[in-house]
Structure 1
Amino acid sequence: MYRDRAARFALCAAAAAIWTAVAAAQSIEPQPPQPSVPAPTVLADARKLIDSGQPAAAIETLRALDDRADPQVAELLGVGYYHANDAGRAIDTLTPVVQRLEPGSLERREAVQVLGLAHFLAGHLRESIPYLEETRPFLPDDIKLAYALGMAYAQTRQPAKARESFARTFRIRPDSAAAYLLAGEMMNRLELEDLAEAELKQAIRLDPKLPEAHYVLAQIAIFRSRLDEAIELLREELAINPAHAMALYRMGDVYSRRLEWNAAIATLQQSLWINPYFSGPYILLGKAYGRTGQPASAEQMLRRAIEYDPNNKSAHYLLAQLLQQAGRAEEAKGEFAIAERLQGDVK
């Protein structure tokens, strides 16, 4: 669930950033008044309201016009809905009129752009792609647009197009090992593990010493409970980059899952020597020390984890259990209460 929320947040942030970049690049202004426009002054006023962050007022102004069937009025009304965070009405308003706007006009470009972003934000990824693709020639070097297209392609299971878009985002060749690695990273974030594995394995075929590729494959193996495979992949990553603190942490995690506490302790300590500011290894060390009869060391590790991450529910809960086992009931009660409160915050 957390990964899904993070992915959705990233998509929304990308869409907002694309709008800012595209609008600035196009400097969209109303076209000179045409005879068919019933109230050019009203259109100009509505545009100013949208540009000044008052889309609701712009919508009210445009809805007051008698001829809302006019494509230029409908176009600006759709833009207003988009800026008012009403993607559904933006789509409903712009879809019937986009083909009626003059090809190549700024209004047509804006309508296409907003339709792409509105579908994107509404989760209609497949529908967003043609509009975003039509916008791309106007902004061939815009990395935010390339990123959004890459995310849409990935989630509609078009890995080759996704890889090409991500490569454009990061200014690398789409047939390079680095491009396959980046595509695999992004697809893993989106929980598309099967696509991610294929990309990452091709990255390793192209460059067996490519940093990070084995590590991401190991993350997928851990997620799927293929622990022996994960250990081998992490060893390969550490052979390439022995200072990879997160690879050491993940290896400690695997050892913990296999109840190999001494191996876990050694590996997690190595991770902390490289990066002492991440709470994860401290939590696992607290658990490992507790399971090997070292309560003082366990308490020290868990309190250090809380120092770096005060809102970590697991750290407070494990510390509460440890204190309870030591007969320190009042202290344990306080930690259990914190853990329960944090659990409520998560919900």
Structure 2
Amino acid sequence: MSKSFELASLIFFPIAVSLSSTAQVSSKTPAVSPTATAEHAASLAENGNCSEAVPLLVKSVAHITDKELQKRSGLAGVRCATLLQQTGPLLDFVRILNQQFPHDPEVLYISVHAYSDLSNHAAQELAQTAPNSIPSLEMDADANELQGKWDQAEKDYRKILEQNPRYPGIHFRLARLLLSKPNPPADFQDQAKKELLQELEIDPANAGAEYVLGELARQASDFPEAIQRFTKATKFDPSFADAYLGLGMSLLAEKNYAEAVAPLEMAVKFQPGNPAAHYGLATAYARTGRKEDAQREFALQQQAADRTGNQGAPNPQ
């Protein structure tokens, strides 16, 4: 081996070792903790640097153990994601906040605004991209109903049926609209019944349509039909409290007191704060000889009435 080679080895070997050691040290550099990342990201957000803050908050917020910092980071994330109109991160921040801080007033407040902003953004996009689509017409109809613009809402629903005569739910909404108008036509109940029957042709298991038909029959003192309609409604939707109440009151009107007990018990189960349900059940108990149960239900009816200001004692006729 030449002396020049030996000299080169002596010079470069320490350098190679040094470089190798530096590389090993670099590879073992500890990662930045989620807490430190969140602190930095929250500060960025609070200083208005949302575009830099959001990606850091997305990575760190779910892994923070400091609850105060986690809440601060989540709230900052919601505000920034809303400002930047970043739907994915916004939903993630709201979900984490509600999981980690259930019933927290501040979290609930910002969640309301977040979902409202998402709703408004989606509505605007729908109106801009597909203004004549059925979902867009539905949205317009809903808004018109809420504002009491009954005629315009009806036009929207009719346009939907022009596009798809068997689109589910529209005949039911037309019936609801007819029954809600402050100055309906003289035959509004007949028109509503026609719409509901058309709805059932499209959707035979529509519990809402059966229920409204039952109410119309009960108001007309056609209790056999009311019983039939309410019974179907409870079968299609076993948690339909108002349908159980309507069924029980119709059975009371037909003097089928024993049969009225079961649906009225269900009505009380699902709506324990409804005075009418307690009144109906108390009446059924009284007429079937269950005096103590009747007294208890009458007392509960009075307590519920005191809370709501409604006596809830409809006449079973």
Same-fold status (TM-score > 0.5): yes
Out of 47, 62, 86, which is 1:30 matched to?
A: 47
Cα offset for 1:294? 0.7
Residue 211 of structure 1 is aligned with which of 162, 165, 168? 168
In structure 2, the CA distance between the partners of 1:267 and 1:329, relative to structure 1 (3 Å rule), is same
Following TM superposition, by how much is the alpha carbon of 1:306 offset from its aligned partner in structure 2, in angstroms? 1.8
Comparing 189-198 and 267-276, the one that deviates more: 189-198
Whether 2:221 is the aligned partner of 1:221: answer no
1:289-342 superposed Cα distances (whole Å, 9 cap, x missing partner): 111121101122101222333333221121223334556554333212212222
Deviations 1:10-63 (A, max 9, x none): xxxxxxxxxxxxxx9xx744269xxxxxxxxxxxxxxx99x839x9xxxxxxxx
Q: Secondary structure of 2:301's partner?
A: helix
Q: Which residue is 1:133 aligned to?
A: none
CA distance, structure 1, for counterparts of residue 230 and residue 175 of structure 2: 17
TM-score, with structure 1 as normaliser: 0.51
| Contact 2:233–2:240, Cα closer than 8 Å, also in 1 | no
Give 2:124's match in structure 1, choosing from 165, 169, 182: 165
Coordinate RMSD, CA, aligned: 3.9
In 2, Cα distance between the equivalents of 1:190 and 1:149? 20
Matched, 1:244 2:206: yes
Cα gap change, 1:31 to 1:303, in 2 (>3 Å): closer
Counterpart mapping for 1:1-347 below 5 A:
28-30=45-47, 52=72, 144-145=116-117, 147-148=119-120, 165=124, 167=126, 173-189=130-146, 192-224=149-181, 226-326=188-288, 328-346=290-308
CA contact (8 A) 1:166 1:179 kept: no
Per-residue CA shift, 1:273-302, capped at 9, x if unaligned?
A: 222222121111111111112110112210
Q: Deviations over 1:194-242 (max 9, x none)?
A: 4432322222222221111111111122234732111101011111111
Gaps of 5+ in 2: 1-40, 50-67, 84-113, 310-317
Mapped contact 1:200–1:213 kept (Cα < 8 A) = yes
SS at match of 1:174: coil
Secondary structure of the 1:271 match is: helix
Give distance in 2, aligned partners of 1:291 and 1:172. 53
CA distance in 2, matches of 1:339, 1:29: 53
Deviations 1:55-97 (A, max 9, x none): 9xxxxxxxxxxxxxxxxxxxxxxxxxxx9xxxxxxxxxxxxxx
Higher relative contact order (CA 8 A, sep 6+): 1
Flag the 1:315–1:205 CA change in 2: closer, same or farther, 3 A. Answer: same
- For residues 264 and 115 of structure 2, the distance between their equivalents in structure 1, rounded to whole angstroms, comes to 42
Cα pair distance change 1:301/1:197, threshold 3 Å: same
Larger Cα-atom Rg = 2
**1:175 CA displacement:** 0.7
Q: Which residue identity lines up with residue 161 of structure 2 in the other structure?
A: I
Cα 1:149/1:342, change in 2 over 3 Å:
farther
Structure-1 residue corresponding to 2:32: none
The answer to whether the Cα contact below 8 Å between 1:172 and 1:178 also exists between their aligned partners in 2 is: no
1:306–1:166: structure 2 CA closer, same or farther, 3 Å change rule? farther
Note closer, same or farther for the CA distance 1:305–1:190 as it changes in structure 2 (3 Å cut): farther
1:166 CA displacement: 7.7
Equivalent residue of 2:165, what SS? coil
User: 1:165 and 1:313 mapped to 2: Cα distance?
Assistant: 42
